[in-house]
Amino acid sequence: MRSPFVVAESDVEGVRADGDTVLEKTTWDGSNGSEVLEQRLLRFAPGRCRPRRDDRRDELLYVVAGAATLALDDDTYPLEPDTGAYVRAGESWLVDNPGPGELHVVSVSVPGSEDAPARSVTVRFSERPERRADAKRSFRNIVDGDAGCRTATQFVGLVEPCRAPDHSHSYDELGYIVEGQGYAHVGGESIELGPGSCFRLPPEQVHCIENAGPAVMRILGVFHPSGDPASRTYDEAASTAKGGSR
pLDDT at 2: 73
Is residue 1 in some structural domain?
Answer: no
pTM: 0.94
Residues 109 and 132 in one domain: no
CA neighbor of 221 nearest in space, from 141, 148, 150, 160? 141
Which residues span the domain enclosing 17?
Answer: 6-117
Q: Read off the pLDDT band of 135 (50, 70, 90).
A: confident
pLDDT at 118: 85
Cis peptide before 81 (omega within 30 of 0): no
Q: Residue 210: which H helix or E strand, with range?
A: strand 207-211
Query: Where is the domain boundary, 117, 152, 176?
Result: 117
Residues 134 and 41 in one domain: no
Rounded Cα distance, 85 and 109, in Å: 12
CA neighbor of 57 nearest in space, from 29, 16, 98, 18? 29
Residues 216 and 155 in one domain: yes
Residues 110 and 30 in one domain: yes
CA distances from 214 to 52, 68, 140, 181, 189 (A): 39, 32, 22, 9, 22
> Number of structural domains, the chain?
2
Q: If phi over 0 gives left and psi between -120 and 50 gives alpha, with beta otherwise, what is residue 39?
A: beta
Is residue 246 in some structural domain?
Answer: no
Is the predicted pLDDT of residue 192 greater than 80, yes or no?
yes
What is the mean pLDDT of the segment spanning 184-206?
96
Query: Where is the domain boundary, 94, 117, 140?
Result: 117
Residues 131 and 100 in one domain: no
Report whether 61 contacts 84 (CB < 8 A): yes
Is the predicted pLDDT of residue 246 greater than 60, yes or no?
no
Q: What is the CATH number of the domain that holds 143?
A: 2.60.120.10
What is the mean pLDDT of the segment spanning 43-67?
97
Residues 138 and 173 in one domain: yes
pLDDT at 202: 96
Percent of the chain with pLDDT over 70: 96
CA neighbor of 13 nearest in space, from 27, 33, 32? 27
Mind listing the pLDDT tens digit for each residue in 137-172?
999 999 999 999 999 999 999 999 999 889 999 999
Is residue 154 in some structural domain?
Answer: yes
Residues 88 and 168 in one domain: no
Residues 133 and 233 in one domain: yes
Residues 53 and 78 in one domain: yes
Report whether 180 contacts 213 (CB < 8 A): yes
Is the predicted pLDDT of residue 40 greater than 80, yes or no?
yes
CA distances from 189 to 6, 129, 201, 209 (A): 11, 34, 13, 12
